[in-house]
Amino acid sequence: MFKDNVNISRFEPLLSPLELKSKLPMSGQAAESVTRHRKLIQNIMDKKLDKFIAIVGPCSIHSVDEALEYARKLYDLSRKIEDKIFTIMRVYFEKPRTTIGWKGLIYDPELNESCNMAAGLDRARRLLLKIDEIGLATATEILDPVTAQYIADLITWAAIGARTTESQTHRQLASGLSMPVGFKNTTDGSIKTAVEAIQSAVHNHAFLGLLEDGRSGIFHTKGNQYAHIVLRGGANGPNYTSEYIAYTRELLKRMKLKENIIVDCSHANSNKDAFRQKDVLNDIVKQKIAGEKSIIGAMIESNLIHGKQNHSSKVKLQYGVSITDECLGWDDTEALLLSIHSKL
């Protein structure tokens, strides 16, 4: 007798995106915030507005309370520097893994491998609503196309990560997303692959996906004209210096794409040393001041407390410290952004 699903241990029912959105609807305040912030990024990318985009926040969110404390601090800082810098908070719920490891708040909100994704999606949407209502823009990585249907309406800016930039599924998805989307160069450092991803995302597509009511359906997209590149370094080292910026700008120009570059100050650009993010940011701001118009912003991994920690059910976690990549502490983050503001 034929047997299917032999490697599935069990199935669990889940609310549809529409049911979760009905349970946790977008408020008028959140809708105004997301709409205004998306338009602001578009104006920066169209060179209608001269502001520097700073995408700042934890490598990943593992505690809603800690994330909200961080959001309030970042909002207060953003008001001080908003004349020159548009601040967006990193609110990352999904972590891509080369092999295995904790995959993020949506997948395992209890940090114990119970994988209560229903609770994870609920917490993620509640947190985004609160941050949007504070008045702070939000950024996340879109990893699973299904989870996007549950939270994408609350996101100002999205990233397609280094491990999924080559994925046709993610290029198609990006072509239909309503917010600007940044494609990271691949882990081996390929900039050309990310530019090819942008070429794909700005065009229309048709693909299978999950409708809001939970049924599968065919999505017909218009193309995302605000797809752009994020340089994050690669296997051969950093790629934020002027020669890489010039190469990327000319490649985008040759491909008839908008010349917009965001630099990820973390990952291979800083060799995952949180303090070295300062050097990266200062370098690209220096390039921008010298006239490099293609540089429109930077990403910085930052948390309440500097460093990182291993998480375990046997050990109490230190408040405000990352459980994934090492992050810059809040005091250093604030000083860095105020310093950059004074230079721009």
> Burial code of 273-307, b = ≥16 C-beta within 10 A, e = fewer?
ebebbbebbebbbebbeeebebbbbbbbbbbbbbe
Tens digit of each residue's pLDDT (9 = 90 or more) over 78-126:
999 999 999 999 999 998 877 778 899 999 999 999 999 999 999 999 9
Cα(287)–Cα(241) distance, integer angstroms: 9
Quick: pLDDT tens for 214-240: 999 999 999 999 999 999 999 999 999
pLDDT given at position 96:
80
Sign of the Cα torsion 113, 97, 6, 212 reads positive
Q: How far apart are CA 220 and CA 208, in angstroms?
A: 9
How much is the average pLDDT of 31-59? 98
Q: Decide if pLDDT at 159 tops 80.
A: yes
pLDDT tens digit sequence for 3-32: 898 898 888 899 999 999 999 999 999 999
- DSSP state letter for 24: S
Average pLDDT, the chain: 96
Look up residue 311 and give its DSSP letter: -
Residue showing tokens 């601040």:
87
Report, as an integer, the average pLDDT of 19-47: 98
pLDDT of res. 131: 98
Asked if 330 and 70 touch (Cβ cutoff 8 Å), the reply is yes
Q: Convert the pLDDT of each residue in 264-305 to its tens digit.
A: 999 999 999 999 999 999 999 999 999 999 999 999 999 999
Greater pLDDT, 243 or 316:
243
Domains and CATH numbers, the chain: 17-343 (3.20.20.70)
In Å, how far are 37, 43, 199 from 226, measured between CA atoms? 14, 10, 11
Predicted local confidence at residue 312, as pLDDT = 72
Q: Is the dihedral of CA 165, 199, 43, 241 positive or negative?
A: positive
- Model confidence over 128-147: pLDDT tens digits? 999 999 999 999 999 999 99
pLDDT > 70: what percent of the chain?
99
Q: What is the pLDDT of residue 313?
A: 59
- Where would I find the beta strands (DSSP E) of 271-321? 295-301
Rounded mean pLDDT, 72-78: 98
User: Is pLDDT of 314 > 80?
Assistant: no
Tens of pLDDT, residue by residue over 328-341, are: 999 999 999 999 99
pLDDT range class, residue 161, cuts 50, 70, 90: very high
33 pLDDT higher than 70: yes
